[in-house]
Chain A
Amino acid sequence: MGKGTKLALILGAIPFITLVFALPLVNRIEPVILGLPFLLFWILSWVILTPLILFLAYRLEKKFNPPEEED
C-alpha cells in the first residue's frame, strides 16, 4: 500500500468517526448555532466538510502514489 493510499484511508475514517460514532455525544439541542439545533448543525457541518476531506485525500494520493497506480 502506497503512502498516499494510507494517508487517504486515515482521512476517509473521519466522516465515519464524526457522522456515526460521535453521534451519542452530540445528541442535544443546545447550543443552537446559526438557527440550527446542535445535532443538526453538527451533521450538516460534517456532510459539507466530507467533500473537502475527500478532495484532500485525492490530492495526497496523487502526490504520494506513483502515477501508474492511478488511471
Chain B
Amino acid sequence: MTLDQLPLGQTARISRLNGSSSVRRRLMEMGLTPAATVQAVRRAPMGDPLDVKVRGYHLSLRKEEAASVEVESAGSGNV
C-alpha cells in the first residue's frame, strides 16, 4: 500500500520510498524515513493534497508524492 491509499485516521509504518531522488530526499528530510510511523489525517476539500502527521507535526503533500511512499498498515491511533 502507498501513503495516498492509507484510510484517513489510520497509522502506518513507512517501508520504503520511491520516486525521483530530489522528491525522495525532501520527503525523508521532512521525516518520512523508512520505519517512521505516519498517520493520514485529512484530505483538502478538493481531494488533494493530503495532511499527514509524522514525528509529531503536520505535513501536507500531494497524492502524487504520497504515492511514492510505501507503507505497511499498523492499525489506527495517533502518532
A binds B: no
